[in-house]
A and B are shown apart, each in its own frame.
Chain A
Amino acid sequence: MAESPSSLALASQTSSEVLIQFSDVRISFAEGEILRGVSFSAQRKETLVLLGETGSGKTLALKLAAGLLRPDSGTIDILGERVSGMSERELLGLRRKIGFVFQEGALFDSLTVGENVAYRLHEDHVNEEEIEPRVREILEFVGLGDTLDLLPSELSGGMRRRVSIARALVSRPPIVLYDSPTAGLDPITSQTIMTLILRLRDVYGVTALLATQRLQDGFGLANFHFDPATRHVRRDGAREKASLTVTRFLVLRAGKIYFEGSPEELLAANDPYLQRFLI
């Protein structure tokens, strides 16, 4: 993929346009109410880190944002469209503008890596001659250019996660939803995945919701950026922090938003529950 220095500038342009908006969203299952009036919004090119324990509703929030589930009440607006009121047919169209990285990858196990990544392009009836170069390009971007003909079962967990990211990104959606992209991975592989997410943010300027249990994932996004000119990840200085894309934290607890704010505010919070994430 072309990573020109201007890409960073493009990514760093802030915009007040709200791409994701949750308003008083509630959803219940047999075991009880899981989300209890959740409201938040994410602006264009913003990364919102959803932090919380297992079962706090992070994945649910992502699935609601993609229209894979419907809220019992409240409204969800994505790219200016009211997801919560759409029919399944309308949602199918909207979902093509959203990339979803599932926790376990959710790759189609009967298709090769190349076919997995090309799936969406085939669905969109992209010219066959255009598909292969684009698939190769995105696989090179995630560092898996030589896995085109392998089956998902022949890949490691980290590689599967990277293929999943490539599959979500191949149609260049403006919004990407990451469901615990580093869960169950070793620290080195986790770092590789987070570097990849940084590159996507800083090169393409995608708006992202990232559900995670690992605080370091969020701080990694908040404190570092990818410089396309040098092709290296760099720690942000004070000046860069002010100009680069925004990363905010949202802590979910017992189905409600327990904390919402910047990384600095999270670090400064003198709250016993939040302190547990910082240990």
Chain B
Amino acid sequence: MAETPLQVTQPQASSPETPSVAEVLVDAAKTNVLKVQDYSKLCLRSLTNLVTSPRYMPDTLVQMDDIGVGSLPIVLLSGFFIGAVLVLQTGAQFERFGQTMLTGDVVSIALVRELGPTITGLLVAGRCASGMASELGSMQVTEQVDAMRAMGTDPSRKLVSPRVLATLLTLPLLTTISVFVGLLGGMVASVFSLRLDATTFWERAIHVLEFSDLMQGFTKSLVFGFILATVGCYQGLNVRGGTQGVGRATTQAVVASSVMIIVADTFLTKIALFLADKVF
């Protein structure tokens, strides 16, 4: 140690030990298992907080406004044009067999079961998971989260659960709106491009749907909402490394939630199809 102010303390030279490949892999595996464990605990806490007090309903309403109303423009725009492009693509194929009237059926099923929840989930993930990660990340690096804990508030209750609940409540609504607007877009495209009757398109689109289709779309939007909110919050609360870390967490939140939504979609589809055969 330096004994005068002019001396500079130097760290003691230690013999460099290069870790083996196995050690590096084991460390990486442990780190990832730990992350999964922390994420799972956060998910569980965010749900159990909803059934015990204190609950932060004003915060939930603010988040619902931000997530629901705030995401409405992009959901409306993208929903309309996805419906329209779906009609253009499938209609071109059906025209070869003279079955263009089936377009309404296909577009409706595709939107309700698959594209409505998935595209809405991905869009809201891009907008809101990143927002949650950056907001909570900034709070984390400026010690606001610690300040909250120091004042006797559980951050998972105050910050995570309202966001999770708000997303769970608004994403199914956004998905419903997206599907409706998508069908409108599809109807417009089918009238002007395929020369189909609007009433026929709409009737076929509605009548082809079964209860299991609606349940599939609804369940997916719930799961996707839970994924994007928890991933966004988890990334935000685990920011390390100042503003650079906030940027990294924001990117990771979007990437991780989008990938998880697509992966979950595959499994949910398989389960839904199985249940549709057995239950509905």
A interface residues (Cβ-Cβ under 8 A, vs B): 63, 66, 68, 88-89, 92-93, 95-96, 98, 100, 102-104, 106-109, 119-120, 123, 167, 254, 272-273, 276, 279
Contacts and interface: CB of A to CB of B under 8 A. Distances in A.
Contacts of B150: 66, 68, 95, 98, 100, 102
Contacts of A95: 149-152
Contact of A254 (B1, B139, B151): B1
Contact of B4 (A88, A119, A272): A272
B143 A104 contact: yes
A119 B3 contact: no
B152 A96 contact: yes
Given A106-B142, A254-B1, A92 B152 contact: yes
Given A92-B149, A109-B144, 10 more contacts: A95-B152, A100-B150, A102-B150, A104-B143, A108-B139, A108-B144, A108-B147, A109-B138, A119-B151, A273-B3
A96 B3 contact: no
Interface size classification for chain B = 10 to 19
B5 A120 contact: no
B152 A109 contact: no
B153 interface: yes
Contacts of B149: 68, 92, 95
A184 to B, nearest CB: 14
A100 B148 CA distance: 10
A123 B143 contact: no
Interface of B: 1, 3-5, 54, 138-139, 142-144, 146-154
A119 B151 CA distance: 9
A104 B142 contact: yes
Nearest to B1: A254
Given A254-B1, A276-B5, A88 B154 contact: yes
A102 B147 contact: yes
Nearest to B9: A53
A120 B151 contact: yes
A272 B1 CA distance: 12
B3 A272 contact: yes
Nearest 3 CB-CB pairs, A to B? A106-B147, A100-B150, A96-B152
A106 B144 contact: yes
B152 A123 contact: yes
Contact of A106 (B3, B54, B143): B143
A32 B143 CA distance: 23
23 contacts: A63-B146, A68-B146, A68-B150, A88-B154, A89-B154, A92-B153, A92-B154, A93-B152, A95-B152, A96-B151, A98-B150, A100-B150, A102-B147, A106-B147, A109-B138, A120-B151, A123-B151, A123-B152, A123-B153, A273-B1, A273-B3, A276-B4, A279-B5
Nearest to A98: B150
B3 A100 contact: no
A96 B149 CA distance: 9
A68 B144 CA distance: 13
A193 to B, nearest CB: 18
A198 B136 CA distance: 35
B143 A102 contact: yes
A119 B154 CA distance: 13
B152 A120 contact: yes
Contacts of A103: 143
B54 to A, nearest CB: 8
Nearest to B3: A272
Contacts of A272: 3-4
B151 A106 contact: no
A254 B147 CA distance: 27
Contacts of A63: 146
Contacts of A104: 142-143
A43 to B, nearest CB: 22
* Most B Cβ at <10 Å: residue of A106, A108, A254, A279: A106
Nearest to B151: A120
